[in-house]
């Protein structure tokens, strides 16, 4: 288990740490935010820094939902600054009766200050807690807010949550609106530019993390992440134009989003490139006891279900009561229609929620007066009335939709019945395998060279291709914490395969048993026998294909293991370069050229030739250099494999993560799916970017 070095003084056994009034700290103003920023924005990494933009945009969208704003502009500026402009009513600047300060200063520098707690200024809003924009102020090393109201323009500047100036009236303006410019505090939002040094073994491993300012760099804003968020918000906010500009590069670019069709258009965007099962997109908008409900969905030929839910335009990534209400209405209404029209005759088994959601792409959005979010990052909605409202509105609209569109209804029901049959077949196949004890962990695969450690947090397994590589890696490994599982050839492409066929694959069964997690309904990530599962394939096209097949398996059936950070790809070298006693390993052609150039320079220095070659003069050839290109891991002797690819002190591992599950899903569909044409187009579009292509 890794231990982190700390400069804190340890309290020896028997010593009493003092604890009195002097140890009680009272944090005033925005100090709590700066002391514990992750409590308010989720993290101090990239997601947390981008959350600052979302807070500013949410305020503008609240104005739009109230009918006061039609245009929102977001710009990335040099110096890592962001500008957000809206043409809403503008933040009030008159004196606040309670604080005796300008309302603008009160909103920007006081937690839980805003117009969203009981006044009639906002019927619905995403800013329930009233801490959003003040948190941005607290975590910014520079902030300037400009307000246009009642014919005048005002501004105030802040540093780390404290006013730098008074509220100043400095110009006239005909329109209304608010402009926010901020620069995140580098002391809070930063990332290591040097990798951690790891020493020791097993429980005594020490991770030395440098805290020197020089070893950190500011986190850069990701324009793609911002574009995806703004596109999503534009779909949810009909009739509002959102413009994004990235002005950091020499050639700035601008994107505009404007959708009259709302979430109906969003469904068409989410299903682009997929084969849809029915012609019409289901859409409804209704109101139940003051709660506004919007829902849209369409079925495709995909097996996966994709749902997005929102409350007051805030994305609720963990769902909540509104999504529960939608699912309940969908399952009940389709079952009622199927029974009524004899689609389920001769069986007592109803369609399950799993059956009716296979191939479903759905968006559910509610506008609610008093949303109850879990946490400031608003990942889940908790209002019980939302479940009832969504269930009622969707069920009524679906009943009408199915009656008016019998062909669409038939396609939906048949799709769900097909999923039901496949589920039953897979369940039967899985139970057959379980009866044989294949996935019960009763016997680990014979070809698995397991490690001696039984602590998952320090254990790792290398999945290698072929017996040759398996033999080398078995000799190279550290038996204490490294296990080796060789696979024969290319495993089954699971992209379109049902579970029964997947479990019939001997190689996949061996992998599942070795990992110990189970599969499908029996899957439990906490049972994983290893916390590092490392795909180690040859650095050629065949190796990359095998890696892709394995990643497809993990993504489709073991995604929580990717989310927990358990899946890695080893980076074996492509070349071994030897010059005298000097031995270097190159992981790509660029590395090779850099090493060769360094050897050439070293040779010139020894010969007394330090000047560069003049124009038209050929580079002097170097002698005594042996460059070996590895065709596979099996060509490496155990010591080379350990030194370059398996030794934790020297190796480079690529951690597999999922930035955008939906985009990853699309890529896997293109690369591993049954349709040839999309794959051909992808190859044609990206062919020029490919290096080290083996033919």
> What is the torsional sign of CA 187, 189, 193, 198?
positive
Torsion angle (degrees, nearest 10) of CA 481, 485, 491, 494: -40
Distance CA 416, CA 351 (A): 7
Q: Which range among 35-39, 170-174, 233-237, 663-667 shows the weakest confidence by mean pLDDT?
A: 663-667
Distance CA 321, CA 389 (A): 10
How many structural domains compose the chain?
Answer: 3
Give the model's pLDDT for residue 26: 40
pLDDT above 60 (res 141) = yes
Token pair of 8 as six digits: 């804190």
pLDDT above 90 (res 147) = yes
Give the model's pLDDT for residue 320: 93
> What is the torsional sign of CA 387, 389, 394, 395?
positive
Domain interval for residue 161: 31-246
User: Which element (helix H / strand E) includes 420?
Assistant: helix 406-435
- What average pLDDT does the segment 299-324 reach? 91
Percent of the chain predicted with pLDDT > 70? 79
Higher pLDDT, 155 or 124: 155
For residue 17, being part of any structural domain is answered with: no
Higher pLDDT, 71 or 6: 71
pLDDT above 90 (res 196) = no
468 & 524 share domain: yes
Query: Which residues does 686 contact at the CB level (< 8 Å), separation at least 6?
Result: none
Q: Is the separation of the CB atoms in 495 and 672 below 8 Å? A: yes
Higher pLDDT, 149 or 438: 149
Give the model's pLDDT for residue 360: 96
Higher pLDDT, 108 or 26: 108
Residue range 595-634, pLDDT digits in tens: 998 888 887 777 765 445 454 444 456 677 889 888 778 7
Give the model's pLDDT for residue 197: 40
Residue range 456-509, pLDDT digits in tens: 999 999 999 877 788 889 999 999 999 999 998 788 888 777 777 888 888 998
188 & 66 share domain: yes
Based on the residue annotation, tell me whether 540 is a catalytic residue of this protein. yes
Give the model's pLDDT for residue 211: 60
Q: Give the C-alpha distances (Å, rounded to integers) separating 647 from 481, 547, 582, 640, 675.
A: 11, 21, 20, 10, 41
Q: Is the separation of the CB atoms in 88 and 73 below 8 Å? A: no
Percent of the chain predicted with pLDDT > 90? 46
Give the model's pLDDT for residue 231: 94
Higher pLDDT, 624 or 144: 144
Pairing status of strand 482-487 against strand 460-465: parallel
Catalytic site residue from 540, 598, 635, 665: 540
- What average pLDDT does the segment 504-529 reach? 89
- What average pLDDT does the segment 179-183 reach? 97
Give the model's pLDDT for residue 446: 78
Based on the residue annotation, tell me whether 87 is a catalytic residue of this protein. no
- What average pLDDT does the segment 56-60 reach? 92
Distance CA 249, CA 659 (A): 23
450 & 508 share domain: yes
3-state percent breakdown (helix, strand, coil) of the chain, nearest 5: 40, 20, 40
Q: How far is CA 298 from the centre of its chain?
A: 24
Q: Find the CATH number of the domain harbouring 324.
A: 3.30.230.10
> What is the torsional sign of CA 644, 647, 648, 653?
positive
Domain boundary among 187, 211, 246: 246
pLDDT above 80 (res 375) = no
Higher pLDDT, 521 or 389: 389
Domain boundary among 399, 430, 461: 430
383 & 484 share domain: no
pLDDT above 80 (res 393) = yes
pLDDT above 80 (res 681) = no
- What average pLDDT does the segment 343-347 reach? 81
404 & 328 share domain: yes
For residue 210, being part of any structural domain is answered with: yes
Q: Is the separation of the CB atoms in 217 and 15 below 8 Å? A: no
354 & 481 share domain: no
208 & 154 share domain: yes
Q: Give the C-alpha distances (Å, rounded to integers) separating 232 from 97, 217, 226, 367, 649.
A: 38, 30, 10, 16, 43
Give the model's pLDDT for residue 604: 76
3-class secondary-structure state, position 7: coil
Q: Is the separation of the CB atoms in 668 and 555 below 8 Å? A: yes
DSSP bridge partners of 217: 191
Catalytic site residue from 47, 304, 307, 542: 542
Closest to 359 (Cα-Cα) out of 422, 309, 412: 412
Based on the residue annotation, tell me whether 542 is a catalytic residue of this protein. yes
Distance CA 569, CA 588 (A): 16
Residue range 636-651, pLDDT digits in tens: 889 989 998 999 988 8
Give the model's pLDDT for residue 616: 43
Half-sphere exposure of 187 (CA within 13 A, CB side): 9
pLDDT above 90 (res 135) = yes
pLDDT above 50 (res 689) = yes
For residue 188, being part of any structural domain is answered with: yes
319 & 205 share domain: no
Give the model's pLDDT for residue 623: 74
For residue 626, being part of any structural domain is answered with: no
Give the model's pLDDT for residue 374: 76
Q: How far is CA 413 from the centre of its chain?
A: 33
Q: Give the C-alpha distances (Å, rounded to integers) separating 43 from 214, 306, 393, 501, 565.
A: 22, 26, 37, 41, 17
Any idea what DSSP says for residue 305? -
pLDDT above 80 (res 16) = no
170 & 215 share domain: yes
Q: Find the CATH number of the domain harbouring 138.
A: 3.30.565.10
Q: Give the C-alpha distances (Å, rounded to integers) separating 315 from 284, 320, 518, 663.
A: 19, 11, 32, 17
Higher pLDDT, 28 or 335: 335
φ, ψ for residue 564 (rounded to 5)? -80, -5
- What average pLDDT does the segment 364-368 reach? 94
What is the band of 674 on the pLDDT scale with cuts at 50, 70, 90?
A: low
Q: Find the CATH number of the domain harbouring 684.
A: 3.40.50.670
- What average pLDDT does the segment 285-289 reach? 94
Q: Is the separation of the CB atoms in 145 and 179 below 8 Å? A: yes
Closest to 407 (Cα-Cα) out of 348, 341, 328, 363: 341
Domain boundary among 430, 458, 473: 430
Query: Which residues does 447 contact at the CB level (< 8 Å), separation at least 6?
Result: 470, 485, 486, 510
Give the model's pLDDT for residue 218: 86
Q: Is the separation of the CB atoms in 34 and 138 below 8 Å? A: yes
Catalytic site residue from 246, 465, 507, 669: 465
149 & 183 share domain: yes
Q: Is the separation of the CB atoms in 159 and 110 below 8 Å? A: no
For residue 48, being part of any structural domain is answered with: yes
Residue range 242-285, pLDDT digits in tens: 999 999 988 888 999 999 999 999 999 999 888 899 999 999 99
Catalytic site residue from 538, 584, 640, 643: 538
Torsion angle (degrees, nearest 10) of CA 191, 193, 197, 203: 20
For residue 115, being part of any structural domain is answered with: yes
User: Which element (helix H / strand E) includes 430?
Assistant: helix 406-435
Query: Which residues does 205 contact at the CB level (< 8 Å), separation at least 6?
Result: 1, 2, 3, 198, 199, 458
User: Which element (helix H / strand E) includes 487?
Assistant: strand 482-487
What is the band of 658 on the pLDDT scale with cuts at 50, 70, 90?
A: confident
Residue range 419-463, pLDDT digits in tens: 898 888 877 766 665 555 445 544 677 789 999 999 999 999 999
455 & 338 share domain: no
For residue 238, being part of any structural domain is answered with: yes
For residue 359, being part of any structural domain is answered with: yes
Give the model's pLDDT for residue 198: 40
Q: Is the separation of the CB atoms in 657 and 565 below 8 Å? A: yes
Q: Over the chain, what is the mean pLDDT? A: 82
Distance CA 647, CA 511 (A): 23
pLDDT above 70 (res 310) = yes
What is the band of 201 on the pLDDT scale with cuts at 50, 70, 90?
A: very low
Give the model's pLDDT for residue 561: 94
Helix axes 541-557, 661-672, angle to 10 degrees: 130
- How far the first Cα of the chain sits from its last, in Å, is 44
41 & 181 share domain: yes
Q: Is the separation of the CB atoms in 469 and 632 below 8 Å? A: yes
Whether pTM exceeds 0.85? no
Based on the residue annotation, tell me whether 355 is a catalytic residue of this protein. no
Closest to 72 (Cα-Cα) out of 81, 675, 63: 63
φ, ψ for residue 680 (rounded to 5)? -60, -45
């Amino acid at each position: 288990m890794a231990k982190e070095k700390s400069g804190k003084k340890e309290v020896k056994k028997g010593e009493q740490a003092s604890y009195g009034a002097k140890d009680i700290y009272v944090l005033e103003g925005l100090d709590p935010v700066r002391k514990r920023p992750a409590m308010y924005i989720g993290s101090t990494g990239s997601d947390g820094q981008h959350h600052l933009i979302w807070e500013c945009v949410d305020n503008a969208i609240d104005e739009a939902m109230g009918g006061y704003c039609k245009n929102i502009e977001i710009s990335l500026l040099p110096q890592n600054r962001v500008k957000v402009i809206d043409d809403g009513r503008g933040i009030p600047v008159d004196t606040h009766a309670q604080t005796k300060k300008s309302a603008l200063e009160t909103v920007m520098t006081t937690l839980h200050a805003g117009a969203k707690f009981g006044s009639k200024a906002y019927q619905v809003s995403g800013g329930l807690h009233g801490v959003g924009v003040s948190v941005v102020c607290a975590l910014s090393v520079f902030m300037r807010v400009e307000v246009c109201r009642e014919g005048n323009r005002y501004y105030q500047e802040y540093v780390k949550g404290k006013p730098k100036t008074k509220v100043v009236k400095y110009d006239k303006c005909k329109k209304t609106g608010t402009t926010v410019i901020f620069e995140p505090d580098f002391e809070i939002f930063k990332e290591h530019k040097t990798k951690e040094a790891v020493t020791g073994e097993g429980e005594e491993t020490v991770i030395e993390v440098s805290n020197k300012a020089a070893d950190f760099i500011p986190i850069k804003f990701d324009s793609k992440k911002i574009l995806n968020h703004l596109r999503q918000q534009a779909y949810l906010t009909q009739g509002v134009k959102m413009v994004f500009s990235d002005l950091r590069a020499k050639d700035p670019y601008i994107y505009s989003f404007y959708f009259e069709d709302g979430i109906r258009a969003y469904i068409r965007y989410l299903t682009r490139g997929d084969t849809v099962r029915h012609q019409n997109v289901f859409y409804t908008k209704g109101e139940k006891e003051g709660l506004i409900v919007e829902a849209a969905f369409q079925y495709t030929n995909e097996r996966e279900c994709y749902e997005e839910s929102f409350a007051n335009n805030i994305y609720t990534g963990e769902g909540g009561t509104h999504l529960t209400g939608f699912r309940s209405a969908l399952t009940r209404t389709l079952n009622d229609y199927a029974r009524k029209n004899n689609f389920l005759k001769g069986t007592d088994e109803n369609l399950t929620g799993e059956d009716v959601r296979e191939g479903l792409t759905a968006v559910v959005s509610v506008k609610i007066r008093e949303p109850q979010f879990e946490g400031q990052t608003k990942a889940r909605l908790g209002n019980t009335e939302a479940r009832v409202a969504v269930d009622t509105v969707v069920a009524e609209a679906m009943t009408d939709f199915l009656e008016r569109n019998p062909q669409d209804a038939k396609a939906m029901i048949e799709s769900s019945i097909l999923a039901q049959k496949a589920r039953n077949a897979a369940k039967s196949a899985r139970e057959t395998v379980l009866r044989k004890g294949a996935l019960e962990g009763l016997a680990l695969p014979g070809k698995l060279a397991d490690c001696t450690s039984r602590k998952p947090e320090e254990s790792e397994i290398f999945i290698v291709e072929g017996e040759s590589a398996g033999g080398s890696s078995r000799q190279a490994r550290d038996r204490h914490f490294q296990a080796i599982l060789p696979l024969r050839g290319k495993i089954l492409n699971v992209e379109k395969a049902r579970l029964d066929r997947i479990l019939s694959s001997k190689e996949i069964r061996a992998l599942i048993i070795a990992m110990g997690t189970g599969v499908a309904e029996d899957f439990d990530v906490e049972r994983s026998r290893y916390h590092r599962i490392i795909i180690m394939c040859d650095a050629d096209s065949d190796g990359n294909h095998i890696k892709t097949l394995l990643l497809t398996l993990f993504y489709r059936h073991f995604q929580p293991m990717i989310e927990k950070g358990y899946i890695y790809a080893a980076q074996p070298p492509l070349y071994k370069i030897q010059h005298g006693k000097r031995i270097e390993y190159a992981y790509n052609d660029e590395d090779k050229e850099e090493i060769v150039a360094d050897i050439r320079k070293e040779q010139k220095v020894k010969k007394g030739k330090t000047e560069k070659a003049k124009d038209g003069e050929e580079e002097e050839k170097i002698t005594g250099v042996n460059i070996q290109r590895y065709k596979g891991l099996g060509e490496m002797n155990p010591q080379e494999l350990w030194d370059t690819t398996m030794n934790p002190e020297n190796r480079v591992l690529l951690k597999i993560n999922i930035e955008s599950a939906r985009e990853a899903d699309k890529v896997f569909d293109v690369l591993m799916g049954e349709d040839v044409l999309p794959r051909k187009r992808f190859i044609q579009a990206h062919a020029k970017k490919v290096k080290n292509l083996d033919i």
